[in-house]
Amino acid sequence: MTESYTPPKIWTWDTENGGKWASLNRPIAGATHDKALPVGTHPFQLYSLATPNGVKVTVMFEELLAAGHAAEYDAWLIRIGDGDQFGSGFVEVNPNSKIPALMDRSGPEPVRVFESGAILMHLAEKFGAFLGRPEDRPELLSWLMWQMGSAPYLGGGFGHFYAYAPYPMEYPINRFAMETKRQLDVLNRHLEGREWMVGDGLTIADIAICPWYGRLVKGEAYDAGEFLSVHEYENVVAWADRFYARPAVQRGAMVNRTYGPPEMQLWERHDAADFETKTQDKVQAGE
């Protein structure tokens, strides 16, 4: 957009616009092609990619397993760059065509769950885990909803215009940088004197929020750490360090990951042993 841009009377879709991810976006829903989803042997079938929203769910599964719950899962890779999310099988699980999507096959009938926050709530309630104390539930739900409402300003707002837009645009970068820093300040103030977001232990509030904001303050999002002066948010940095020091979190962050060091990429996860035998460094070495 330039200073001389005037919106048309009626908007029409231009496939040439939109930046790096333009080919993935369209103004209509529904499937673009027929493609059935694979189904593994475990009670939970996850179809995802290691974006922050995807990492939330794989971390949740790995934390549940580490705590001794019967939460074995198959994690299938959905390559959104290839349009896998528009296959007919995926659309049946998530009509919104976004990752992650879950089929819970642990009961008499399969149950679909989509939207990462809904998946976290479903699993937490199913296993009675990572929900904190009953008296803390309103606070936990408030922070969970805060993340769901706030992160689009970080990812689709700041991240898009700072890292992915066709060219730098001063107004939206300034607008969303301001909002991102405001959100970091909200977290920083809340985490003063606290180890975790709610109560005295890890909850789904941490699992939902940290893959977005913890990743940002650790310099792993949009190459924007210096631009946003993330070191200023010392409480958020310390909280993120605690979160990512957990072995289950480290495992969860590897699942469905297709970027970074090969030893940190586990494209699909079907067994706990896959972390030792099927990371990309071993696959590439033919082990």
Residue 88 lies in a domain: no
Residue 287 lies in a domain: no
Q: What is the CATH number of the domain that holds 227?
A: 1.20.1050.10
- Does 2 score more than 60 pLDDT? no
49 to 90, 215, 222, 285: CA distances (angstroms): 13, 16, 17, 23
- pLDDT confidence tier of residue 17, bands split at 50, 70 and 90: low
pLDDT of residue 49: 98
Per-residue pLDDT tens over the stretch 212-253: 999 999 999 999 999 999 999 999 999 999 999 999 999 999
- pLDDT confidence tier of residue 18, bands split at 50, 70 and 90: low
Residue 86 lies in a domain: no
Mean pLDDT of 126-155: 97
Per-residue pLDDT tens over the stretch 162-198: 999 989 999 999 999 999 999 999 999 999 999 999 9
State the pTM of this model. 0.95
CB distance 110 to 103 below 8 Å:
yes
Look over the chain and give the mean of its residue pLDDT values, rounded to a whole number: 95
- pLDDT confidence tier of residue 6, bands split at 50, 70 and 90: confident
181: containing domain: 134-246
Residue 66 lies in a domain: no
Per-residue pLDDT tens over the stretch 109-130: 999 999 999 999 999 999 999 9
- Does 24 score more than 70 pLDDT? yes
Q: What angle do CA 37, 38, 44 make, to 5 degrees?
A: 100
Per-residue pLDDT tens over the stretch 53-103: 999 999 999 999 999 999 999 999 999 999 999 999 999 999 999 999 999
pLDDT of residue 3: 66
Residue 151 lies in a domain: yes
- Phi then psi dihedrals of residue 163, to 5 deg: -115, -25
DSSP reduced 3-state for 47:
strand
pLDDT of residue 14: 78
Tell whether omega for the bond before 262 is within 30 degrees of 0, i.e. cis.
Answer: no
Residue 20 lies in a domain: no
- Total of domains in the chain: 1
